Amino acid sequence: MCGIVGILGNSSAVPRMMDSLKRLEYRGYDSAGVATVAGGSLDRRRAPGKLSALGDVLASNPLEGNSGIGHTRWATHGEPTINNAHPHMTERVAIVHNGIIENFKALKDELKAAGINFEGDTDTEVVARLMTRYLDDGLPPRAAFQETLGRLEGAFALCVLVAGEDNLMFGAREGSPLVIGLGDGENYLGSDAMALAGLSNQLIYMEEGDWVELTRDQYQIYSAANEPVDRTVSFSQVAATMIDKGNHRHFMQKEIYEQPTVVAQALGRYLDPIGGVVKLPDLSFNLAAVPKITLVACGTSFYAAQVARYWIEQIARVPVDVDIASEFRYRDPVYADGGLAIFISQSGETMDTLSALRHAKAAGQHIASIVNVTGSTMARESDLVMPIHAGPEVGVASTKAFTCQLAVLAAFTIKLASAKGEIDDTQVADYVAELEHAPALMAKILNADQQIETIAQDIAGARDILFVGRGIYYPIAMEGALKLKEISYIHAEGYAAGELKHGPIALIDENVPVIGIAPKGGLSEKTVSNLQEIMARKGKVVLFSDDEVPPADMYAHVAMPTAGDLISPILYALPVQLLAYYAAVEKGTDVDMPRNLAKSVTVE
């Protein structure tokens, strides 16, 4: 996640922005920058690398102005170079951005055709150029910003300065958080309460689709329909050392809702949408020569590995073993010469997984790790490290780390299939485009969660709940059951739908809800047939599907967006997370710190 701060102040903005960016550096440290408007003119300073590099630039070349915007970046589109660092600026606007502009390529082509040149490779620069075009066409700033927002697709938070306007700032939220801070003759914008700690304790958490026009003395928030709206002012006691829940009740809820942004930013590290290719870190071995892949993980990460097995075998046609880390060494696995063993762990310190890594390494396997902490032990002991870039995950029950793991594994699968010659360049580009579409679809799912909350409240009193799916959705069923067990303490199991009649269907009666995961096509008809067998035995069935005509007599049908098998598992992770979350809230359990569990298991 990138970090954003904006200040409309009465004293020099840069020192205060730098203080805020220090608190936000955990959100990204590929590059950083600040911009101000002073004497009617915009100016900026940027530097690749950590925030200290920007501090050095400012020490030698100070920046004046009481109104400014700042940014610390996790690169998505474009390498972490000075030209790709934020703020992006023209003679008329300066912009910082968190998230992804999904349709940036089409907009960029349109602007290039109109004779507009670009300096860098980022999606954010398109926003700056587009708004400048509307200003050049004679629109006043508010209308130009409004027209720009109407053209953008994706998940993003924006903060904008306009040349000649020392007392004006715009902000917008679509799938990425943005907070307004109120001061005494000053107003602010930030990614979260952490950004504004020390500046303001009166915060307004913008809602989905909101945009705001700020001056020092007032603000006006508009809805996605461009209607003026009022939002609640909250009092914050966030200290600079705290990670804040924002306006969410729990960290887990906050992290569920961060997923469109963090998945977009994870994908941005591995995908080149303009070139239609996948980028991996430098490899010390020949990917095309790998004869077999072993995936090893624990808990939620194990289910990510199981999803990846379907992808890798179906798309790249490479055989895959998947193992629970705690069992791996003890079955004395047979390795293939030149094989690749991939170990998945949010912390990179999970002892079972680390021990398995060392076992495979001693056997001469190439070692890759998929981790959220790049300085972790697993990362240091690997030949290839694929960070998931999910940002800090506080909730013990993993949510955003899981979907970011899936995103990275999907990108890896495409790269492997291409290296193996199983897919051509056109197919690679198609898969890249499909993955790029995932964050926007995730945002749509999260914007329609009220039905899931109602269902969760109804089933929270159940003693047992079953989750079922087929094929690539079977691991998602198991992950849904795990989430429910972890935080609501309801006994839940995930089954392959075809296995129900081989024993588990004996559990079914009117008191056992069954959650079915069955996207249209493929094996969906078989899954639905299995669900009808459950309904015939009075089971209460909830179906997550994009099928517009679900079976009759079903307790509930939650409509999902239609998508391909490469991104659907990522999408279907969200409703099962929400179901577990709202069931736990209904039961009154400790959502963020469920009993007997820890975030990182460092004993075997």
The CATH number of residue 230's host domain is 3.60.20.10
Domain identity same for 318 and 387: yes
**What average pLDDT does range 390-400 have in this prediction?**
88
pLDDT at 518: 87
Q: Looking at the domain assignment, is residue 601 inside a domain?
A: no
What digits encode the pLDDT tens for the residues 242-288? 566 778 889 999 999 999 999 999 999 999 988 999 999 889 999 99
CA 552/CA 61 separation, integer angstroms: 69
Count up the domains in the chain and report the number: 3
Contact 19, 34 (CB under 8 A): no
Q: Looking at the domain assignment, is residue 604 inside a domain?
A: no
- Domain holding 129, by residue range, is 3-247
CA 377/CA 385 separation, integer angstroms: 11
pLDDT at 28: 66
Q: Looking at the domain assignment, is residue 242 inside a domain?
A: yes
Domain identity same for 126 and 275: no
In the chain, pLDDT over 70 holds for what percent of residues?
95
DSSP symbols for 485-511: HHHH--EEEEEEGGGGGGTGGGG-STT
pLDDT at 603: 46
Q: Looking at the domain assignment, is residue 593 inside a domain?
A: no
CA 18/CA 33 separation, integer angstroms: 9
pLDDT at 604: 54
Q: Looking at the domain assignment, is residue 512 inside a domain?
A: yes
What digits encode the pLDDT tens for the residues 460-508? 999 999 999 989 999 999 999 999 999 999 999 998 888 877 887 878 8
Domain identity same for 65 and 214: yes
Domain identity same for 441 and 550: no
Domain identity same for 171 and 119: yes
What digits encode the pLDDT tens for the residues 224-242? 999 999 998 988 766 544 5
Q: What is the mean pLDDT of the chain?
A: 90
Contact 269, 372 (CB under 8 A): no
Q: Looking at the domain assignment, is residue 354 inside a domain?
A: yes
Domain identity same for 487 and 354: no
pLDDT at 599: 58
CA 573/CA 563 separation, integer angstroms: 13
Domain identity same for 123 and 165: yes
pLDDT of 51 higher than 70:
yes
User: Which long-range CB contacts under 8 A does 495-499 form with residues at least 24 apart?
Assistant: 495/466, 495/467, 495/468, 496/468, 496/469, 496/470, 497/468, 497/469, 497/470, 497/526, 497/527, 497/530, 497/531, 498/470, 498/526, 498/530
Query: What DSSP character marks residue 516?
Result: E
Contact 603, 349 (CB under 8 A): no
Domain identity same for 179 and 227: yes
The sign of the dihedral angle between the CA atoms of 421, 423, 425, 431 is negative
pLDDT at 237: 63
pLDDT at 512: 86
pLDDT-derived band of residue 581, with 50, 70 and 90 as boundaries?
very high
**What average pLDDT does range 121-139 have in this prediction?**
94
- Catalytic residue check, 298: no
Lowest-confidence region among 104-113, 280-289, 591-600: 591-600
What digits encode the pLDDT tens for the residues 510-569? 888 999 998 887 666 777 777 778 877 877 889 999 887 676 678 889 999 999 889 999
Domain identity same for 406 and 306: yes
The larger pLDDT score, comparing residue 296 to residue 354, is at 296
pLDDT-derived band of residue 602, with 50, 70 and 90 as boundaries?
very low
Q: Looking at the domain assignment, is residue 66 inside a domain?
A: yes
- Catalytic residue check, 404: no
pLDDT of 601 higher than 70:
no
pLDDT of 75 higher than 80:
no
Domain identity same for 513 and 422: no
The CATH number of residue 280's host domain is 3.40.50.10490
pLDDT of 26 higher than 70:
no
Tokens of 63: 């920046």
| Selected catalytic residue, list 2, 159, 298, 404 | 2
Domain identity same for 532 and 428: no
Contact 337, 292 (CB under 8 A): no
Cα separations (Å) of 271 from 50, 423, 437, 510? 23, 16, 12, 47
| Selected catalytic residue, list 292, 420, 520, 599 | 599
pLDDT at 540: 86
